[in-house]
Amino acid sequence: MAVPRALLGLRLAAWSLALYPAAELAWRLTHAALGPNPVEFLERYTGLWSLRLLLVALAMTPLRRFTGRVEFVQIRRLLGLWAFAWICVHFAVFLTFDLEWSPAKLVEEVAERTYITLGFTGWLLLLPLAITSTRGWQRRLGRRWKSLHRLVWPAVWLGGLHFLWLVKSDHREPLAYLAITALVLLLRAPWPLRGRKADPGKRLPA
Amino acid sequence: MLIRIPPPHPIRSSEITPERVHDDRRRLVAQLGLSAVALVTGCGRSDDAQAERPQASTEIAATDSASTVAPAAGSEGRAALNVAKRSELAGGETLTPFMDVSTYNNYYEFGTSKDQPARNAHTLKTRPWMVTVDGECESPGQLGIEDLVNASTLEERVYRFRCVEAWSMVVPWVGIALSDVLARFKPTSKAKYVAFETFYDRQQMPLGRWAGFELPYVEGLRIDEAMHPLTLLTVGMYGRVLPNQNGAPLRLVVPWKYGYKSIKSIVRVRFVEKEPPTTWNILQPEEYGFYSNVNPAVSHPRWSQSGERRLGELFKRKTLLYNGYTEVASLYTGMDPVKFH
Q: How confident is the model at residue B301 (pLDDT cuts 50, 70, 90)?
A: confident
Residues in a beta bridge with B221? B194
Give the closest of A37, A114, A170 to B311, CB-based. Answer: A37
Q: Which residues of A touch B309 (CB under 8 A)?
A: 37, 39-40, 97
Instruction: Identify the closest residue of chain A to B31 by CA–CA distance.
Output: A32
Quick one: B87 exposed, middle or buried, by C-beta within 10 A (0-12, 13-18, 19+)? Answer: middle
CB contact under 8 A, B104 and A166: no
Residue-by-residue DSSP string for A99-135: TTT-HHHHHHHHHH-HHHHHHHHHHHHHHHHHHTTSH
Over residues B111-124, the mean pLDDT reads 97
Beta bridge partners of B142: B132
With respect to residue A175, please indicate whether it lies within any of the assigned structural domains: yes
Q: Which residues of A touch B (CB under 8 A)?
A: 29-32, 34-40, 97-98, 100, 105, 108-109, 112-115, 165-166, 168-172
B167 near A CB under 8 A: yes
**Using one digit for the tens of pLDDT, what is the confidence trace for B53-65?**
334 333 334 344 4
State whether A32 and B104 contact (CB < 8 Å).
no
Q: Does B303 touch chain A (CB under 8 A)?
A: yes
Q: If pLDDT is split at 50, 70 and 90, which confidence band does B230 have?
A: very high
- When pLDDT is cut at 50, 70 and 90, the band that residue B79 belongs to is very high
CB A62 within 8 A of CB A188: yes
In B57-188, the DSSP E strands lie at 85-88, 130-135, 141-144, 155-162, 167-177
What are the chain A neighbours of B311 within 8 Å (beta carbons)?
Answer: 36-37
- Tell me, yes or no, whether A129 lies in a domain: yes
* Rounded distance between C-alpha atoms, residue A127 and residue A103, angstroms: 19
How high is the pLDDT of residue B142? Answer: 96
Q: What is the mean pLDDT of chain A?
A: 92
Residues of A in contact with B99 (CB under 8 A): 36
pLDDT of residue B52 exceeding 80: no
Q: Using CB atoms within 10 Å of the CB of residue A186, give its burial: 0 to 12 exposed, 13 to 18 middle, 19+ buried.
A: exposed
* Cβ–Cβ below 8 Å for B314 and A39: yes
Q: Let me know if residue A142 belongs to a domain.
A: yes
Residue A81 has pLDDT above 70, yes or no: yes
Confidence label for A4 from pLDDT (cuts 50, 70 and 90): confident
B-chain residues within 8 Å CB-CB of A94? none
Average pLDDT score over chain B:
86
Residue B318 at interface with chain A, using a CB cutoff of 8 Å: no
Whether A197 is in a domain gets the answer no
What is the structure's pLDDT at B77? 86
Question: How does residue B4 score in pLDDT terms, banded at 50, 70 and 90?
Answer: low
**Nearest C-alpha neighbor of A167 from the set A156, A176, A155, A179:** A176
Q: Which long-range contacts (CB under 8 A, 24 or more apart) does A154-157 make?
A: A154/A122, A154/A125, A155/A54, A155/A122, A155/A123, A155/A125, A155/A126, A155/A129, A156/A51, A156/A54, A156/A55, A156/A58, A156/A122, A156/A181, A157/A181
pLDDT(A76) > 50: yes
pLDDT in tens, A14-58: 999 999 999 999 999 999 999 999 999 999 999 999 999 999 999
Task: Evaluate if residue B339 carries a pLDDT over 70.
Answer: yes
Residue B252 is given by DSSP the state E
For residue A3, the model assigns a pLDDT of 74
* Cβ partners under 8 Å of residue B237, min gap 6: B75, B98, B101, B171, B172, B173, B174, B243, B246
**Count of the separate structural domains present in chain A:** 1
What share of chain A in percent tops pLDDT 70? 92
- Fold classification of B13-332 is Sulfite Oxidase; Chain A, domain 2 (3.90.420)
Q: What is the mean pLDDT of residues B298-304?
A: 90
Rounded to an integer, what distance in angstroms lies between the CA atom of residue A170 and that of residue B213? Answer: 8
Q: Nearest CA of chain B to the CA of A36: how many Å?
A: 5
- Greater confidence (A22 vs B70) lies with A22
Would A172 be classed as within a structural domain?
Answer: yes
Subunit contact B114:A166, Cβ cutoff 8 A: no
pLDDT of residue B55: 40
Query: Does residue A1 sit within a domain?
Result: no
The residue-averaged pLDDT of A149-172 equals: 96
Kindly give, in sequence order, each residue whose CB lies less than 8 Å from that of residue B252, ignoring residues fewer than 6 positions away.
B178, B196, B219, B221, B231, B232, B233, B234, B261, B262, B263, B266
Of A37, A100, A112, the CB nearest to B167: A37
Given CB atoms, is B31 within the 8 Å cutoff of chain A? yes
Mean pLDDT of B134-151: 94
8 Å CB contact between A44 and A94: no
Q: Which of B121, B156, B104 is nearest to B243 (CA)?
A: B121
User: Could you tell me if the ipTM is greater than 0.90?
Assistant: no
Residues of the domain holding A126: 8-187
- pLDDT attached to residue A199: 52
